[in-house]
Structure 1
Amino acid sequence: MHLLSLVNVLLIALMLHCMTSAKKFRWCTLSDAEQRKCSYLARTLQNILSSSDPFSRVSCVRAHNTQDCMIKIRGNKADAVSLDAGDVYTAVSLYDLEVVAKEEHTEGNCVFAVAVARRGALNIRKLRGTRSCHSAAKWTSGWNLPLGFLLSKNLMYWDGEQPLAKVVSRYFNASCIPGIGVSSPNLCELCQGTKSYVREKNHFCEVSGNEPFSNSDGAFRCLKSGAGDVAFIDHLTISNVTDTEMDQFELLCPDGSTASLKSYRSCNLGQGPGKSIITRGHMKRITKRFLTVIQNFFGRSGKHRSRFSLFTSEYFGGQNLLFHDSTQGLHVLTDDADMTDILGLDYVGLLKELGHEGISLDHSVIRWCCISSAEMRKCEDWALSVRSDPLVCVQATSLSGCIEMIKSNEADAVTLDATHAYVAGRCGLQPAAVEYWGGHYDCLTDPNELLQGLFEKGFPSLYALAVTKKRMKAVTLSDLRGRRSCHGNMYSPAGWLLLSRYTVRGAVNQTWDCDLNSAYENYFWKGCMPGGEGGLCKVCVGWEEVGRINGRCAANHDERYYGNMGALRCLVGETGGRIYGDVAFLEHHSLQENIAYLGSSGWAHGLDPSDFVLLCPDGEKVALTEWKQCNLGAIPPSVVMTRPVITAKIYEFLMKSQEYLRSSEDSTFQLFKSVHKYGEGDLLFKDSTSCLLPTGHYGLQDILGDSFMQLADSVFECTHAGILDFCTSDICAGKKK
């Protein structure tokens, strides 16, 4: 009996071994030409490998389109395929597939999205009503990045309440967008694939090699044939254009200009991830081994490249078969790589904004980023006071944290001072509105008309001030080394950036450290610069609860010396005159009101503006009222920053909100006032704000000004900022123009 059982076990093991060894690795193909190349790869492997090697038996599974490939892989009828990043996101999020490798090109895994047209025919800002050719629906270069660009520049409007395809169908006169479906017939009108009622024979408007205008090569073919006026493709397609094509076609640049086809690095609509290879979860290890084997044999420097070239397709009657022909190699991923490692934060955020997961309630919600409990209280009052899109208040620990949350699609908008706005711009965020610090009566005029006038004559400015107590006779601006300093926060325009020109980067300071934070720590004896470290935190006081000090030196209002009000508190000193600074760097707005508030709120009884003086660059000391003549420089307006695609949505929410609050006479909530109700100044917006204005087509450089941008560029060139490390770690961030 035992012997019989042993025989049975051996027979079953032998059967399992035979079944396992007979199983073929199956690659999914999308055209007849791709099927031919795949079959040749399979035969070549069979000739090279021993019959016992599992990869000596590879089969090629013909699919109808990319979605069919995903279904076949999920259903265990195929094992792997290389897909555009847009389809990769769909494969992972909707089909529960996994990514195992990326195609790498000479410029990495990222591709530039470009718009191509005949020379002298079009302007990127005037595409409405034209005929368009796209590589495919939901693909990086043919759909996601171009539509993201058009939406971010307010050239196309989408309220999120209807499918994006409907908006696109009204924007273009006719199109070929393979894979778009049948809901908008004009989006397939230009396509050339064979039509049939039999699904397997219908290739019209499909993401398949049998649709002549599918993929980037097909979209360019659509343009060259005269069917379309503009083609949205990737830069890899134009890297090998002929001289004739160079003369006939040009790139459409974001600023409305044009450039030669070879100028895609400086003239493009954005950059996103390239193609990746997907498989089922339990096939990850085997697929990685397969990719490693074929690359070692048939890659650019493969030992059997003379027998078969993995990244060449011409011999099989097509282009970019199995992999893109410009692929330099396959980068096999580690097991712990997640979606943001593979596609990048920016790209994943863009796909969510474009509704790749379907339209949900989240699309109508505005998530405003707050940095303290005081801001949360004001934000929640704001949410209860307006009748517009739902407002949700989310909290970070600093303005840099808000930038990170917005980039990560965990929040939608925040108001940033000029320096933080500069940082946010480098992180890929975009201005949606700008604070106007002029007269309230100006806000009653048309906002676009007011904005145009401001760009001609300049924005009303706030000024950076150096303030000290009148009784401190020895303190002067030129002799602050070794003093105790009070700064609103790290990166603030007044207390960090503009201040540097008169202290650590001044002409009299010959030994300044290139890193601004390190330089300040060596320059001042000690101070309070919320968000800083070391000696720049020694004067900070945090807040006290049940006998414990919390939030000391935090870059938010939980540090009582944070912001303009906090820097003033720091100069006055904690209740009883303890723990104070010799000089405070803050903004001129609301200064006298803040002094009066501290004088009446119990912080310092009887405080009066006459107790303070300004330190001037020429060494003089003057009254606080002389700020126009005695300051450290003009501060550009604060900016509401958000992700590019939702700028119009954020601006519309703000306009509805401030219009409703302006007309609601019984409302006790004031959007631009904070101190008396919440005990802190400049919550969510500066208290000096009269209204918010649209940014229109103006960029961050237009708003902040050349001189401020140049100063910020020079400082951040060698000043370490953790938030910039976070932003530039995104997979395509280091390669953007």
Structure 2
Amino acid sequence: MSGEEEELTWCTISDEEQEKCQDLAKAVQEKFSDFFASRITWNKPRFSYKIGCQRAVSKEECMEYLDQGIADLVSLDPGEVFLGGRYMSLVPIMQELMQGDIDHFYAVAVVKRGDLRDVHTLHDLRDKKACFAGVGSLASWSLPISILMDRRVLEIVDCNNHVKSASEFFGTSCAVNALDDKFNPLGDNSNKLCEICAESGEGHGQYCSSGDPFAGYEGALQCLRDKGDIAFLKHSTVELVAEVPESGQEDPDVCDYDVTPTCEAARLLRTDTPDRIDPLTGRHPFDLFSSAYRYNKKHNLLFEDKTRKFLRIPVPQQSYKDYLKDSLDHILRVRHCPVPSMRLCVVSDHELSKCIRMMTALRAQLLQPELSCFKGHDSVDCMKAIARSEADVAVVDAGDVYTAGKNYELIPVLVEQYNLDTPEYYAVAVTWEEDPDTDILYLKGRYTCHSGIMHAAGWVLPMAYLINNDRIRPYGCDSIRAAAEFFSKSCVPGVSSSDYNFGKTWNNLCDLCHGASHAFCSRDPSEDFFGHTGAFRCLVEGGGNVAFVKHTTVLENTDGKRRQFWARNQINTDFQLLCRNGKRVPVQEYEHCNLGKVKGNAVITRGGSAFNQTQVDAFLNLFIYAQSFYGLKFGDDFSFKMFSSEEPYADLIFQDATQQLVVVPEEERDYESFLGEEFLHAMRTVNCRAGRSVLPPILSVIILPSITSFMLRALL
């Protein structure tokens, strides 16, 4: 190491800790040889650092400073070691050892002597005023909360927010950081776990944060003295405070919960503990492992006051997992979910790839239930898989919500919201501005582009409009035959599928499609002209005269927003909307020129006799948390984005126009209430089976489970 000193910056979180850090820096500068020479116990070059001190407001901000290179070292509680290692790639390098080389402490529940005589079991702690050192701390939060969960005392009300579960069990309490973004990602935590925190902290905005007087283990004990019924602490906290007694305070009763490792620390060693006053300064001499006598009766500044020396952690073991060992189980168990997994059904290889990336992203945030992916042949195959409990959820068009509800007792629980105030969109007819001959009232013999057979905007609403207004001969309710005989050529993905076409195959309804081999005219993203973007592409490069899509489609794919060759030179003024009165308007005027309004794509799951409220709540919870982490459309290229699809693909799993997922009210969680009477009438107009009872049961013949299966439809 060069002769020039390098600065080693320590991160502090209070004025007292900052002062101690500065005193440490002076001690290192002034008395290096006496302070360190006899205490360096491993073979290293001469210590040539000077100590710097960086003030932060919390340990989380300190971890961010380390991650950003603003600071180099900080001492952390084991629960904080988990957060720093798991989310910021920080590593533990030294461990504190207490007298006798003890490397652990006991997690204890403390009450005031003579109090809580009515508590005989853990269940009796319900509605008691609890004091915690802070959400996420190991001994004061993760360990007791996980034990209460394991013994089914504390009900899990939110798989991804243990603060909410604790709020439901305890009475008004103090758990600092309960409202912090890390533990309150949706911003809807109750204030209940902050209500008995100190009224004011150091400066403004410290209430229920790391600066609150009731923060930390010593603060939690003070909370017990002043307001609480029970405090969850380390055994060393009670011993330390007893050394600097508060007048008039009774000794607490202590019961231990478990054993956990001591706090993470750094490279510096201590002086002998002084027992005298320095005659020159009138203060106790500086001591690395003593705080209260010198710093306003504050304990555990920089390090635990019970620490006697450090243990160097070998490089191969410098990870949060190796450091925490068995204690990691408690930290992870507070994230336990009664529903272990959620299987999302997708319909193409491209969607499967996105689902796997989504699964990885959700695991990175430890979100529960654990997501897994199931690939179906198409949306109907996904409905069957969900009904058979081979999958749990799928994201489908409003037209498929109808099929799923009527034929398979599936229900919508979440719905996509786009750029409107409600989770709906307008179905529109788009044509070229330079094609004045195409008119919604006179489409006989024209070339048409549809997002998919029985899709709401791509088929149900436009065909119902044309039939109900006597523009097309209806042939009863056989809209496929009606379209085949009215339009010259079309692309209607899925029109030949036996799930939708129960009669003759009309080849002209696939003539404009573009998919290769088995993907040709298929009702999934493997067909290039499938979906709203696909139907618009059919209009642009497939020879179509009109495309039936949702109102956001043109604006999503023009003016440079899509980089593919087919869209590169398109601008939105090249296209117009066809209105029901025969007029044309710019594509931005969809509110006044459309074929109707329909609900957005929905997440469906099991209903009817297979309905499980616990499962539904867990699935909803996972999607809501997922979008809070990954719902942004913009960011770095490496971040997963739920509502974006990598080109050349579009609308994989979710529509790319989605801004958020909205929970469907419980009273609307059946397909009829969700879709509304107008859409149901339109569906009956275009679908001969829409008015009939549930389709005949499906007979499954399984060959080599988990590898392949063949489905046979029972004869009528």
Q: Same fold (TM over 0.5)?
A: no
Of Structure 1 and Structure 2, the greater helix share is in 1
TM-score between both structures, scaled by the size of structure 2: 0.45
Larger radius of gyration: 2
